[in-house]
Amino acid sequence: MEENDTPSVVSTKVRTYENFHILLWLLKDLCWVTDFKVMGTIMIVPTILVAIFITIMTRKNRSELFHNLAVVCWIMANSVWMLGEFFANDTTRPFATGLFVLGLLFITYFYVNRFVTRAKK
């Protein structure tokens, strides 16, 4: 097993950012469900930026990297969907779907690669 593929304990610093990220994500989605369009739109930026930052922080661990890439896709898809409901008469779902699928592809690639690698051993 390669070093960058070994399970590791998530650092306290990363965990702190992940917990803060949950707060941002919940605030964004609360704005969505309560129809606070301006605040919901504003909340997209810090929510995605923190997700990208976490992905960069954890990039040396393959598992963390691929899972966090999927989370970035998920939040982007979620945001596109929200903007579509707010401002585009809900016409952005195909774009959101594409981002959701991209996130699934990251996760699928990781697990298929892991399964094939372990099956060869």
Tens of pLDDT, residue by residue over 20-48, are: 999 999 999 999 999 999 999 999 999 99
State both tokens at 13. Answer: 């610093």
Tens of pLDDT, residue by residue over 95-114, are: 999 999 999 999 999 999 99
Burial 83-115 (b: 16+ CB within 10 A, else e): bbbbeeeeebeebbeebbebbeebeeebeeeee
Domain boundaries of the chain, sorted by first residue: 10-120
Q: What is the pTM of this model?
A: 0.89
